[in-house]
Amino acid sequence: MDSAALLDLLGNENRRRILRLLSRKPCYVTEISEYLGVSPKAVIDHLRKLEEAGLVESHVDDGRRKYFSIARNLRLEVNVSPYEFGTKSAYSASPNLDITSWRHVSLHVGRESDAPSGNELGNGNEETGEHDLAALAADLEQLERLENELSMAQRWVQGRLTETLDRISAHFEGVDGRFYGDLLRGLTCGPETVESLARKSEAPPEIVRDALEGLSAYGVVERDGDRWRLVATDS
């Protein structure tokens, strides 16, 4: 689902409260209605929209009662800065993703403990069950700390991005330095054509082309066939 549409969907307080409730346990309509203090009809309408967005799913138990639960892991980010307003949404990556090979992030990741089955956890008095639960609790503590540290790192990066774009803008006195900053940001993930950069910056292609030629004179971008790219630097 488009992140802007998702943000609009979650702009409703009652939908956010429904998700908060479902994050604790699966619920049926009457239970949600009593929690929110709104009619079952209104709850059904909210649940329908959340289901259509893929955030909520339902199942019927043996007593033919319909329960709703959260369908998947989703992260929604909203960036607001002097140089950007945008949203990003992403589903959780595979647990097998090798984050130790990332170029700009260095993480110490301990060995993932083997998750016990429900039967093993049910036998809490057994030594193996207690050991597995203790290992999972240790994993939980480590991951919660990591989440907090990554949140702080994101805030630090956002501040540095704004500071760097401010300094880029200062290099282009008398012109719209933010426009040049947009062009450079558009090239950070790889070579782009003039047309694609024009779409991203919402500027006419001829203006983008002239600006790239100007940046080329500074030695920060170069032509690569029909594309432009940042000049590689040793860092």
- From the number of C-beta atoms within 10 Å of its C-beta (0-12, 13-18, 19+), residue 110 rates as exposed
Domains and CATH numbers, the chain: 3-70 (1.10.10.10), 93-160 (no CATH), 177-230 (1.10.10.10)
Mean pLDDT of the chain: 87
pLDDT of residue 34 exceeding 80, the answer is: yes
- Work out the pLDDT band at 94, boundaries 50, 70, 90: confident
Residue with tokens 């893929």: 54
Q: Using CA atoms, how far apart are residues 216 and 223, in angstroms rounded to an integer?
A: 8
Q: Where are the alpha helices (DSSP H) in the chain?
A: 3-9, 13-22, 29-36, 40-52, 118-122, 127-170, 177-186, 194-201, 205-217
pLDDT of residue 125 exceeding 60, the answer is: no
117 vs 187: which has the higher pLDDT: 187
Q: Which of 49, 38, 47, 45 is nearest to 18 (CA)?
A: 47
Residues counted in the chain: 235
pLDDT of residue 117 exceeding 70, the answer is: no
Q: State the Cα torsion 118-119-122-128 to the nearest 10°.
A: -100
With H, G, I as helix, E, B as strand and everything else as coil, classify residue 186. helix
pLDDT of residue 62 exceeding 80, the answer is: yes
CB 77 within 8 A of CB 158: no
| pLDDT tens per residue, range 195-227 | 999 998 889 999 999 999 999 998 999 999 999
Pairing mode of beta strands 192-193, 221-224: unpaired
Q: What is the pLDDT at residue 119? A: 46
- From the number of C-beta atoms within 10 Å of its C-beta (0-12, 13-18, 19+), residue 200 rates as middle
With H, G, I as helix, E, B as strand and everything else as coil, classify residue 72. coil
Question: What is the pLDDT averaged over residues 17-21?
Answer: 96
Q: Which of 188, 154, 147, 187 is nearest to 79 (CA)?
A: 154
Q: Using CA atoms, how far apart are residues 176 and 83, in angstroms rounded to an integer?
A: 12
113 vs 101: which has the higher pLDDT: 101
